[in-house]
Structure 1
């Protein structure tokens, strides 16, 4: 494979992700990576709509992304744009995708939850060696959450659930800080929504949780600041680890604070300050419900997985 310049854009419910890379038979080298907090699910996703304000934010962001790709001279036929939960579930998701196409020429592929889970798995196994250990891979988006039970060689089970951070915020974060009662309500809701996972988890019995990008990047950043002597468990640029004691300490440091207080937590970034509360509540539910013993973190997720898959197909 000759060296080529490519781009993958992931139009997520909370964040638009951009990856520009040089690819060759040796792999890919990132030239530019960007996360834009567009929040297209805000104010409408729970009603199945993308609001006018959210559409305006999306169009402004995608116009800026288009300019960035032109600056990097990425060919149009080597630019792939994928859209996830908000686009597939909102009544006007397809209309927004068509408007983006009109303005930029980008052809948008609205992928289903099964495809999304496949790409997330590819991203995780590119970032770290899952090995022969059967693990539960988890990616928390604004609209959906993907779970994959897998090892390095194969996927045993995968499923996408429409229980993303924006949806959980809309339903359960009635106050800031959140209340113990609303966390209990959320846990009952999650038990109902995820009932189909329990038998699968019992059958495969993974003990390791691999968290991808987003929430888990933020947890790793916060955990890093708690180890000023450099003894944190960040193993490489694409992999970190976290034991359960560390997770529970970070959980306690976040969940009972209001937004202003959360922003003062070392390692917290503004774009995650709202959704982090319901996200860590979800992570805690999964850890406790399924007796997971260890957390690994992948900085790669959908966009890197999509690119890895494309490279396996020789960038057709």
Structure 2
């Protein structure tokens, strides 16, 4: 008889704080008990320093999570800080105040550790990856890329190319101008040189996306003819181009009116789509899978050696 442990993971992302409470079996099964996300947008006033209002929103979210954790009698909580808390000058101050006001102790991890957890979560969510896949997790402050199959990880890297960073640096017009798109693509061309080199060594045309923008794509572009899977979804890749044009060519008001585009993502989804198109062209992607698991599930599944 397997032992089941109730655990919780809080992912303190640059845009969103996620709480996942689950029962985890000794054999690695995850039974979700509770899930919630709160859009705090820590970088709304810049990623170099967390502004007063985003700081307060973040602490308020954690105090709420504390209440939920107590209601569900969770003995083990992993609260993980990523790009924004790594970058912000007052990130440590936020961590101290979070502990004082919510009793939640935050652990900062670097981009490589983040990519390791994402890899573990994604590979446990999709059908066995017999061939290499390119895993992509678009965050607010960073984007992680991993090239892997079910046997090994060939390459991984975190880039400071999150949607908050890209929107602040390149999206000024409404809708975004052609010049801004070109400037962003030129920036990506330079910044993602290591990814281009890795793909030359370990080519793959299968992209696996985790969380955020990919959840929006899963709602709009799910391939209903593909075999059903419990924790991943195939996309109809032919629909990406028209959806890209519709989103990137729209004003903010028009994006807010689009079905399945959450209000909280409507501002940043433009740069996310540009990033996704750039990467798809770079790798020659002909297949996209969306994983229901990402970093949070990877943390739940991790053994001590997986976090090294």
TM-score under structure 2 length normalisation: 0.94
- 1:263-296 deviation digits (Å, cap 9, x = unpaired): 2222221121111110011000001122122111
Contact 2:221–2:236 (8 Å) recurs in 1 = no
5+ unaligned residues in a row in structure 1: which ranges? Answer: none
1:206: which partner in 2?
204
The answer on whether the counterparts of 2:134 and 2:147 sit within 8 Å (CA) in structure 1 is yes
1:89-125: CA deviations, max 9, x gaps?
1111111011101112222110000000001111101
Deviation at 1:130, TM superposition (A): 4.2
Match of 2:58 in 1: 58
1:222·1:265 contact (CA, 8 Å) conserved in 2? no
Deviates more, 1:89-98 or 1:259-268: 259-268
Q: How far off is 1:232 after superposition?
A: 5.7
Q: How many residues align?
A: 304
Offset at residue 234 of structure 1 (A): 7.8
The equivalent of 1:16 in structure 2 is: 17
In the superposition, the TM-score normalised over structure 1's length comes to: 0.92
- Match in the other structure for 2:155: 157
Q: Which residue of 1 aligns with 2:7?
A: 6
Q: Quote the RMSD (CA, aligned, Å).
A: 1.7
Distance 1:153 1:262, change over 3 A: same
Counterparts of 1:238 and 1:171 in 2: how far apart (Å)? Answer: 34
Give yes or no for the alignment of 1:72 onto 2:72: yes
Is 125-134 or 8-17 further displaced after alignment?
125-134
Runs of 4+ in 1 over 4 A off after TM superposition: none
Which residue of structure 2 lines up, in the alignment, with residue 85 of structure 1? 83
Residue of structure 2 in register with 1:176 after alignment: 174
Counterpart residue number, 1:275: 268
Q: Which secondary structure does the structure 1 equivalent of 2:140 belong to?
A: coil
Do the aligned partners of 2:221 and 2:237 also contact (CA within 8 Å) in 1? no
Q: C-alpha separation between the residues in 1 aligned to 2:230 and 2:302?
A: 21
Give the match for residue 32 of structure 2: 30
Q: What's 2:235 paired with?
A: 242
Aligned-pair CA distance for 1:167: 0.4
